[in-house]
């Protein structure tokens, strides 16, 4: 399944998502407020346009002017409440439209259409729903997080496919829901109890959107309902991404038939090497490794890469590490150079800050590994950690194809300590910035008060459930991170894991206090982590898996925290 088709299916599935349940009456009810049969089409078209516009604004303004996404949320809530008031007090719109010159009872066109609120109202209602609907799909979140930042055109095409799927199913809901309810005379009465009930429902939905209560309800419904579309959709995403590039997962050389590797494009600089091209590497076996230096999965893979390079480089084996940054601080050459030196990486590293080579390979993960033969053809692909023995077997196989005798060279398996992948019940990767934020326990303080990108004081959460985290003190929540705004700010996390890592950094040397039973290697005897660079810090290393453990950080002013990762 292609990601484009998955995006279309995700749009259809959105109607079954818990976050849409409370909005379906708004779609149907909004289509009932006039006799015009084309009103559902106007609302649906406006909804589709709003999602595309909202996505484009989020992409552009988040990068350039730190646009506050809460503005659209509040605007949507206010518009829906406004339509609720109109349904609850039908005479209200008549008075407003007459005073503003929007309606003339003598206007035969409007009278014939029976369009009390006009097409403008339908457009406005559809536009108001776009920002709300766009948060209901894991596929939409995937496109926003990993595709739009690296390829605006491809990202927007996938968003368009998602929107078409969503619009199709929403139009069916609006048209057939309207037709069903219109059969009942009591539903057609513009001043009857049914229309007034819809008005009250509109107001409740609008308030819940503005206060963030809708998000709490979504989590509850997702956990309690037997049909969890998000979980189903995540399975489709995983299957789509993992099978996107390979054709035979049972083979060591799993790209059958081999396909020509793309050229290095958009590289802003090279470390450990002069600029390389595909042609200069012809005749060698090449492993292209997409990585970023703060990624825990990449860090776990690095010892195998360096060992393979040291073992087979004299046999015509080359590794090219293509560094594609997840966070903005990883775009700085000096930060990448420091990580390369600290980890003993001696092979060439290309700086792919614009994700041009990433896109050329259609890569989707850190790490993402592509093994090329002597003719520059891709012969094996592996995304993520693990299967190191299979990758080394593939390397040795291609070296033999190239006429090299590697039978007398011992495999590196056993000489590198392998870190296990996540175990059942382990806390998932936890992003703190608002673009991918989840499990934020005192989110309600944010949604009922000030917005993102602004200083706000948080009171913390008294009881953290599994995998939840909370803020106490003065913080600013940005796109990629949370930033401490005073020396006594605290972050608390309920975690199930054996090891805990945190990507963070500061422009000045800062001491972060870590309260935990088991200190990681970056925490000294007094519980202090000295933060002086942007990167990954090891906070916890327990002797065994810890269930629902709590760690607390006291974070000085100016320190940015990006993401927690875990290991077992």
Q: What is the pTM of this model?
A: 0.57
How many CB atoms neighbour CB 57 within 10 A? 15
Please spell the DSSP secondary structure of 335-392, one letter per residue.
HHHHHHHHTT--S-EEE-TT-HHHHHTT--SSSEEEEE-TTSEEEEEEESS--HHHHH
pLDDT digits (tens, 9 = 90+) for 382-403: 988 888 999 999 999 999 999 9
pLDDT of residue 172: 83
Q: Do the strands 349-351 and 430-431 form a parallel or antiparallel pair, or are they unpaired?
A: unpaired
pLDDT of residue 11: 72
Q: How far apart are the first and last CA of the chain?
A: 32
Domain boundaries, the chain: 3-239, 245-401, 430-567
Mark residue 283 as left, alpha or beta (left: phi above 0; alpha: psi -120 to 50; beta: remaining): left
Residue 178: its H or E element = helix 152-182
pLDDT of residue 442: 86
Confirm if 397 and 315 have CB atoms less than 8 A apart: no
Alpha helix ranges (H) inside 467-514: none
pLDDT of residue 113: 33
Residue 217: both structure tokens together: 């309800």
pLDDT of residue 412: 81
pLDDT of residue 432: 92
CA distances from 142 to 213, 436, 463, 480 (A): 24, 9, 30, 15
User: What CATH class has 245-401?
Assistant: alpha beta
CATH topology of domain 430-567: Jelly Rolls (2.60.120)
pLDDT of residue 383: 86
Classify the C-alpha dihedral 442-447-450-453 as positive or negative: positive
Could you give the strand order of the β-sheet that contains 368-372, starting from the edge strand earlier in sequence? Answer: 259-260, 377-383, 368-372, 285-291, 317-323, 349-351, 270-271
CA distances from 228 to 232, 357, 427 (A): 6, 36, 20
pLDDT of residue 72: 59
The span from the CA of 216 to the CA of 213, in Å, is: 5
Q: Which residues contact 442 (CB under 8 A, 6 or more apart)?
A: 458, 459, 460, 461, 470, 471
pLDDT of residue 120: 67
The span from the CA of 261 to the CA of 247, in Å, is: 16
The span from the CA of 194 to the CA of 1, in Å, is: 44
pLDDT of residue 137: 54
Q: Which residues of the chain have pLDDT under 70?
A: 1-3, 6, 14-36, 55-73, 75-76, 79-80, 83-84, 86-87, 90-122, 125-126, 128-152, 154-155, 178, 180-195, 198-199, 202, 209, 212-250, 414-415, 417-424, 447-451
Query: Could you tell me which of 346, 420, 437 has the C-alpha nearest to residue 386?
Result: 420
pLDDT of residue 422: 53
Residue 326: both structure tokens together: 């997840």
The span from the CA of 509 to the CA of 517, in Å, is: 25
């Amino acid at each position: 399944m292609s990601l484009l088709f998955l995006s279309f299916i995700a749009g259809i599935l959105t109607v079954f998502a818990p976050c849409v349940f409370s909005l379906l009456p708004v779609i149907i009810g909004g289509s009932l407020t006039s006799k015009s049969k084309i009103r559902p089409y106007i609302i649906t078209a406006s909804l589709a346009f709003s999602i595309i516009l909202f996505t484009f604004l989020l992409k552009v303004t988040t990068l350039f002017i730190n646009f506050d996404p809460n503005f659209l949320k509040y605007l949507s809530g206010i518009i829906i409440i406004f339509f609720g008031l109109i349904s609850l007090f039908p005479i209200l719109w008549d008075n407003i439209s007459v005073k503003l010159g929007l309606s003339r009872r003598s206007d035969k066109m409007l009278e014939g259409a029976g369009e009390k609120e006009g097409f403008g109202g339908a457009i406005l209602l559809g536009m108001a729903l776009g920002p709300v609907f766009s948060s209901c799909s894991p596929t939409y979140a995937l496109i926003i997080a990993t595709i739009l930042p690296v390829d605006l055109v491809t990202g927007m095409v996938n968003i368009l496919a998602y929107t078409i799927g969503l619009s199709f199913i929403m139009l069916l809901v609006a048209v057939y829901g309207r037709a069903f309810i219109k059969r009942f005379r009591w539903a057609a009465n513009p001043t009857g109890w049914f229309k007034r009930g819809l008005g009250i429902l509109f107001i409740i939905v609008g308030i819940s959107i503005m206060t963030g209560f809708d998000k709490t309800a979504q989590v509850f419904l997702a956990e309690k309902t037997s049909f969890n579309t998000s979980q189903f959709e995540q399975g489709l995403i995983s299957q789509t991404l993992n099978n996107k590039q390979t054709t035979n997962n049972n083979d060591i050389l799993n790209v059958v038939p081999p396909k020509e590797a793309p050229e290095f494009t958009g590289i802003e600089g090279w470390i450990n090497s002069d600029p390389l091209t595909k042609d200069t590497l012809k005749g060698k076996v090449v492993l292209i490794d997409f990585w970023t230096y703060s990624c825990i999965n990449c860090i776990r893979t690095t010892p195998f890469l360096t060992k393979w390079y040291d073992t087979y480089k004299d046999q015509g084996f080359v590794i090219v590490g293509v560094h594609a940054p997840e966070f903005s601080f990883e775009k700085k050459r000096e930060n990448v150079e420091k990580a390369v030196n600290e980890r003993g990486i001696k092979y060439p590293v290309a700086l792919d800050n614009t994700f041009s080579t990433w896109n050329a390979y259609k890569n989707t993960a850190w790490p993402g590994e592509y093994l090329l033969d002597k003719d520059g053809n891709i012969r094996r692909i592996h995304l993520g950690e693990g299967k190191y023995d299979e990758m080394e077997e593939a390397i040795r196989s291609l070296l033999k194809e190239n006429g090299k005798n590697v039978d007398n060279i011992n495999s590196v398996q056993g000489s590198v300590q392998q870190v296990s992948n996540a175990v059942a019940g382990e806390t998932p990767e936890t992003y703190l910035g608002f673009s991918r934020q989840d499990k934020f326990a005192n989110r309600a303080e944010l949604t009922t008060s000030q917005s993102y990108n602004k200083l706000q004081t948080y009171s913390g959460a008294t009881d953290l459930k599994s995998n939840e985290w909370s803020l106490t003190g003065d913080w600013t929540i940005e796109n990629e991170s949370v930033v401490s705004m005073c020396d006594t700010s605290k972050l608390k996390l309920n975690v199930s894991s054996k090891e805990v890592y945190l990507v963070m950094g500061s422009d000045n040397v800062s001491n972060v206090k870590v309260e935990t039973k088991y200190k990681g290697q970056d925490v000294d005897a007094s519980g202090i982590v000295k933060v002086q660079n942007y990167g990954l810090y090891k906070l916890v290393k327990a002797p065994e898996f810890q269930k629902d453990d709590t760690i607390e950080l006291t974070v000085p002013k100016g320190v940015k925290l990006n993401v927690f990762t875990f290991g077992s």
